[in-house]
Structure 1
Amino acid sequence: MRHTAVAAAGLVVMWSSGFVGARLGTAHAAADTLLAWRYLVVAVLLGLFLAVRRPRLTAFEVRRQVLLGLLCQALYLAGVVTGVGLGVPAGIAALIAVMQPLVVGALAGPVLGQVVRPRQWAGLATGLAAVAVVVAGDLEGGGHVLGYLLVGGGMLALSAGTLLERRWALPTAPFDQLTIHCLTSCAVFVAAAATTGRLVPPATPAFWWAVAWVVVLSTFGGYGCYLLTLRALGATGASTLLFLTPPTTMVWALLMFGDPIAWTTVAGLAGCAVAVWLVLARPGKVRWIRRSRHDSSTRHGEAGCPSHLSARV
């Protein structure tokens, strides 16, 4: 029980660290520079392990995992980190990103042929309305419209990758899947930074501190805590914990950067809490037990691609 609590707390903190790391890194370099060097470090470390393990992967499997990596990590992070670099507060970026499980839950019906209850649609609508209130409040204070569009686009890319991952149900081991996704993202971000002439990192210790932050805390710390939490609480439990990351990120940003927490943000958090209850609450104990059993037998569940923890910034 104690280990589960530690893993759950670690998941919330480590997941939130990604949004803070994006703010730290983009203060000293462009988003593609930060992402290129983050993934160069991660790709080298994971690539060495992959070379030692030598997993048996088919070309068909690798091609599909590359596409999932493009959606779940490369496009997602490009949108979120660039949006934060354009001025979207870290806490609000986390609030937009955490809508992904609600979007996936609502779209699972038409895409995967699953039954979606009216209250789940109501939960998605409530969550989106709550996010709209927060974004509108920040835009009135001079926020950057493009930044919010990029963060929202990144969240939709992750949602699309998650739905494809669940539809395809590939047999790839989680570690091999994470490695392919990171190698794909490394190639994308290095190529993007080289094309724009921003591959050379700035000669400032603060930049490398930000790189170390997102590699150690956000990538390996977040993914490790996710695996532990997934085994202990199931997919629904792990997904529910992710909704604690926006307020955690906001407090972190307040302490580190002095970002204020407006009343619209508090209202948005309350609305998101209602949305989570509408989507995840079960009307009866028997149905809850059945859902728990389903979670324990689901490899990734509502939380999305297994790499999305490392990807979520």
Structure 2
Amino acid sequence: MPGRTDALLATGFVLTWSSGFIGAELGTRDAPATTLLAWRFIIAFGLLGAWAIWRRRRIPRRDLALHVIIGVLGQAGYLYGVFAAVEHGVASGTTALICALQPIVAVALAVPLLGESVRARQVAGFVIGLGGVALVVGADLEAVPGVPLLAYTLPVGAMLALVAATLVERRTRPRIGLVDALTVQAGVSAVIFSVLSAGTGTLAPPATPTFWIAIAVLVVVAMFGGYGLYWINLARTGVARVSSLLYLTPPATMAWSWLMFGTTLTPVSLLGVLVCAVAVVLIRTRETSVRRPALPAANRPCRAP
């Protein structure tokens, strides 16, 4: 039942992707963003690399190069922009709102570059979804004194990096499976953040339990779950439909925060959740006039068409 499977994959993506913000909040209490990201990718690459060595599977040079680029953009670029913005004092709600522009930018570029069609109902959905996100994170949009203006360019850069990674993957369509792709991306990200941390003298991890709990959440749930499901959903649907799910991540993050940290759920925030849900329903109607080619059976759940 493709419809039910797509719904389950979409739900899993929203829940696991939003868990990354919780891991970030836990981890940055004890260490800088670069330290947290360095150890996230060191451990992730260690696990994935061991699996790759055991499998002894060769990655074609073209796919290796493509996933290095995708990893630099969609892993290192996106995550550094988000984490560094918070570290420099940008409110998490402001960061989330800026990153929520990703669906609009992605679809605006996907139409001319990828030939994907978008209906008027979906355009309305994107606009409504942005309004819903604004309601959810509105309390965080108050001006924070002492934050440099340049810091606000970090979430913008993060959003653009994820858009670029998405378009590169859809345009080039690498042929390797998801696990191999994540191995390459984790490897290049581990190198980038290890060099950054070592250069600033922050590579040594703290010994606090919460830091390693955060690492576990970021590696197992957010990366293997959230980031993996992002590409699986992208392979099964299109840029418009999978990008629309990002509108649900701020409300989902709010729910995570309520469960774990006792964050207050205001009526305005709950209204925003409802608005986001309506937007996603509008966007995720059948919209493409171009039929997607069928994936080979051996790799259907793991790679883009």
Pairwise TM-score range, normalised by the shorter structure: 0.7 to 0.9
TM-score relative to the length of structure 2: 0.78
| Residues 91 and 141 of structure 1, relative CA distance in 2, 3 Å threshold | closer
Give the 5 Å matches for 1:29-68. 29-68=31-70
Write out per-residue CA displacement over residues 165-189 of structure 1, whole angstroms, 9 at most, x where no aligned residue. Answer: 1011121222211111111111111
Partner of 1:310: none
Q: Which amino acid aligns with 1:76?
A: Y
Q: Give unpaired runs (5+ residues) of structure 2.
A: 298-302
Q: Which moved more, 1:218-227 or 1:202-211?
A: 218-227
SS at match of 2:263: coil
Distance 1:12 1:109, change over 3 A: closer
Deviates more, 1:98-107 or 1:165-174: 98-107
**Is residue 276 of structure 1 aligned with residue 280 of structure 2?**
yes
**Other-structure match for 1:197:** 201
Q: Which residue of 1 aligns with 2:183?
A: 179
Change (3 A) 1:278 1:154: same
Question: What are the Cα deviations for residues 132-178 of structure 1, in whole angstroms up to 9, with x where unaligned?
Answer: 56566423263856665423321221011101110111212222111
Aligned to 1:28, what secondary structure does the other structure show? Answer: coil
Contact preservation (8 Å) 1:43, 1:179: yes
Aligned pair partner of 1:109 in 83, 108, 111: 111
Identity fraction in percent:
46
Consecutive unaligned residues in structure 1, runs of 5 or more = 300-304, 307-313
Cα shift readout 1:222-259 (whole Å, capped 9, x = no counterpart): 3566688789xx43676665544322210221333343
Task: Compute the displacement of 1:86 (Å).
Answer: 4.1
| Matched-pair contact (CA < 8 Å) for 2:91–2:144 | no
- TM-score, scaled relative to structure 1: 0.76
Paired letter, 1:109: V
CA distance in 1 between counterparts of 2:270 and 2:151 reads 21
The amino acid across from 2:222 in the alignment is: S
Q: 1:84 aligns with which of 83, 86, 101?
A: 86
1:217 to 210, 214, 221: 221
> 1:89-238 maps to which residues of 2 (within 5 A)?
93=95, 96-97=98-99, 99-132=101-134, 137-140=139-142, 142=144, 149-222=153-226, 234-235=236-237
Tell me, yes or no, if the aligned pair for 2:136 and 2:251 is still in contact at 8 Å: no
Give 1:51 deviation, angstroms. 1.9
SS where residue 201 of structure 2 aligns?
coil
1:257 is matched by which residue type in structure 2? F
Once residues 115 and 7 of structure 1 are traced to their aligned partners in structure 2, the CA distance between those partners, rounded to angstroms, is: 23
C-alpha distance in 2 between matches for 1:205 and 1:273:
36
CA distance in 1, matches of 2:295, 2:105: 22
Shift in Å, 1:104: 1.9
Asked whether the equivalents of residues 32 and 198 of structure 1 are also in contact (C-alpha less than 8 Å), the reply is: yes
| CA–CA separation in structure 2 for the residues paired with 1:20 and 1:111 | 34
Moved more, 18-27 or 249-258: 249-258
The aligned counterpart of 2:261 is 257
In structure 2, the CA distance between the partners of 1:32 and 1:91, relative to structure 1 (3 Å rule), is same
CA distance in 1: counterparts of 2:276 and 2:153, whole angstroms: 19
Q: Distance in 2 between matches of 1:194 and 1:110?
A: 42
Give, in whole Å, the separation in 2 of the partners of 1:270 and 1:146. Answer: 33
Label 1:206 to 1:133 Cα distance change in 2 as closer, same or farther (>3 A). Answer: closer
Deviation track 1:97-127 (CA, whole Å, cap 9, x = no partner) reads 4553443223211222333334444433443
180-189 vs 170-179, which moves further: 170-179
